[in-house]
Amino acid sequence: MRRIFLLLFPFFLLCNCTSYSTTEIHQSNRNDILDVKSQVHEIQIDTPFIGSIAKLFLLDDYLIIEDCRSDDQLIRLFDRQSFNYIKSTGTLGEGPGEIVNIGFIATCPGKPEFYVSDHGKQKIFCYHVDSLLAESLYLPSVKYEMNRTQFPSRYKYMNDTLSIGIIIQPIGNSSFQQSVARWNMQTGSITPMKYTHPQISKKRIVMDASQQYNIYVEGYEYNDLMTICDLDGNLISNIYGPDWKDNQTNKTSYYRKIVIYKDKIIALFSGKNTFDRNAARGIKALCPTLFQIFDIHGNYLKTLEVGYHISDFCCDEENNRLIMNFDDDIQFGYLDLKGIL
């Protein structure tokens, strides 16, 4: 019997749920699911009223909420610890310092300022937090004039000469190309990363980057694929999920947001049809309820079932928690990660 086991042991290894090569990792099983709905704490934000589509960012002592559907002020500041409201800014409009079409908000490590993209004016505004809080009529300065033919949509700011971002290049009147690139905010130079996956023809991704680990991570929105490269654009690994296919469809959504949190990769993940068709409501975009957790090398660890539909989230490393915006019965909440990760 022992001899038979020894002969079959290599076969068992080959049948493991994860297969490896130097750069290609196939994970056929991601079924370690932890239900954490009962551990989600609701955050009560009654004033000011914030629309259902909100984006979350952290800077020093502040939680910044981008309220993109507001008809007056688009940026709300809250206390990071208590979630008490502090101030609003970013007036909607075409006047000086006002915002026409708000995009991404970038926070600056070690600097009390944040940058706001306005895709109407094609400018990136700089908000100095101390001045914003002290002055009732504060107006931001212009940090960067964007090029209409090639510009960053989201980026990880590291310093004025290095950001790693998703670059948009419009194609005609109705389409665009996405690529990851090194971007110098001082000079405006954009250097595309060297690696692109050879089987992806239409690239739609979410991304995060880390100087500490010298990596950036791409999650594909319409492919069950995550790619890890170094900050020079050299491929480290492609991580294929159970639903990986060479061809892409716009019906099933996979990675919706990726954040590098300490030594983990946290991915907001769907794996379901993007839209819900209902005769009464029409077509409604579906938000995912799952986080997939990987180590910094892309090895799958577990899945968190939050139980609420997550529109956006940010990682609060100082307090070891996820802060989330929901499209559900509650609008905001947080999950304590102590004992979970």
Q: Give the C-alpha distances (Å, rounded to integers) separating 250 from 223, 271, 275.
A: 9, 12, 10
Across 220-229, average pLDDT: 96
Distance CA(153)–CA(276), nearest Å, equals 27
Range in 154-158, 212-216, 283-287, 310-314 with the lowest mean pLDDT: 283-287
Smallest CA-to-CA distance from 59 within 317, 326, 321 is with 317
User: What are the pLDDT digits (tens) for 30-49?
Assistant: 999 999 999 999 999 988 99
Q: Give the C-alpha distances (Å, rounded to integers) separating 170 from 51, 102, 122, 127, 177.
A: 29, 18, 14, 28, 6
Q: Does domain 18-47+148-187+189-341 sit in CATH 2.120.10?
A: yes
Which ranges in the chain are annotated with CATH 2.40.128? 48-146
Distance CA(27)–CA(193), nearest Å, equals 25
Please name the residues in contact with 73: beta carbons below 8 A apart, sequence gap of 6 or more.
48, 67, 88, 89, 90, 91, 92
Which ranges in the chain are annotated with CATH 2.120.10? 18-47+148-187+189-341
User: What are the pLDDT digits (tens) for 243-269?
Assistant: 998 766 667 899 999 999 999 999 999
Q: What is the pLDDT of residue 283?
A: 63
Q: Say if residue 76's pLDDT is above 70.
A: yes
Q: Does domain 48-146 sit in CATH 3.90.1310?
A: no
